Amino acid sequence: MNIQQFNYVLAVAESKHFELAAEKCFVTQSTLSTMISKFEDEIGINIFDRKKKPVKITTEGAAIIEQLKIITNNINHLNELAGEIKGEVKGHLTISVIPTVAPFLLPMFLQHFASRFPDLQIEVKEQTTQEILRQLKSRDLDIGIISTPVHERDILELKLYDEPFVFYNAAEVNGKSVSVKKMNTNNLYLMEEGHCMHTQVVNLCDLNKKHPNETLNFEFKAGSIDSLLRFVKANKAATLLPCLSTIDLPEKEKKQISRFSAPVPYRSIGLVVHRHFAKKKILHILQKDIMDKIAKVLPQKIKGEMLLPV
């Protein structure tokens, strides 16, 4: 068996079609099919049911494919490590960012970071924390930017910054500070469940032992900060926002923002990678780039200020 056969099997598993897989691998269909058959004969397991259209993966084949993904990922990372040792920065890098961070952080650093590595193809996408962690563990993703800590055994975390939350109230203009303990949650709207910010705000409000207004006959949970803000403004409601999301708001809307008095609720944002991630040089350059950009826009901590992690 060899890595070429592994790649052929994975190509068919992805496309569910021998002809499309052969095109992807730049070989004839007969060559690809013969190589896969030899591999199946060698291990004594049929990976694909060729009688099905589209091609179906057998139960036993699914287990083999998962192991082949691990093997090929490890080989790829070995090549990356060799390149890192030789000082080469090229290939492909995938970065996923949670939706409550991506629109506000990525424009600050991504173009500058990418320009430093012209031979590196960078793919960036938005995903939830759970999906990022799942893909890091399966080695389908290189780097994640999420709210930390996550306390996962196979995940390495690197600190980026602490981001305070602010209180946005569309019903009134009030520049005064707000206390977490006295915050009015009767007309408070949140991100939908599945977003870490939803859990963070719910936990924060639970500290206050308050509950949303139960007289309303509808419940709105936004999928993005943009839709959350639009709904809050239209309904003269309130919400909590991470500080970065308010930087580009119009001056009129900034008057709806109140900062929290101590203890100030905040979230920690960090880089996460698999503990065997090989491109350490890129990782630390990315960390420094983000930290340098963030230091210019986030309010600096006041010495001795009480903080409330959420």
Is 80 exceeded by the pLDDT of residue 80? no
47 pLDDT higher than 70 = yes
Domains of the chain, CATH where assigned: 3-84 (1.10.10.10), 89-161+269-309 (3.40.190.10), 162-265 (3.40.190.10)
pLDDT the model gives residue 193: 55
Which position has the token pair 């109140």? 258
Residue 285: its pLDDT value, please? 92
pLDDT score at 53: 81
pLDDT at residue 199 tops 50: yes
pLDDT band at 197 (very low <50, low <70, confident <90, very high): low
How much is the pTM?
A: 0.72
pLDDT at 302: 47
Mean pLDDT taken over the chain: 84
Per-residue confidence band for 131, with pLDDT thresholds at 50, 70 and 90: very high
Percent of the chain with pLDDT over 70: 84
Q: Per-residue pLDDT averaged across 42-50, rounded? A: 93
Q: 210 pLDDT band (50/70/90 cuts)?
A: very low
Mean pLDDT of 171-183: 78
Mean pLDDT for the stretch of residues 39-52: 92
- The answer to whether residue 209 scores a pLDDT higher than 50 is no
How much is the average pLDDT of 154-161?
95
Mean pLDDT throughout 4-8? 93
pLDDT of residue 195: 59
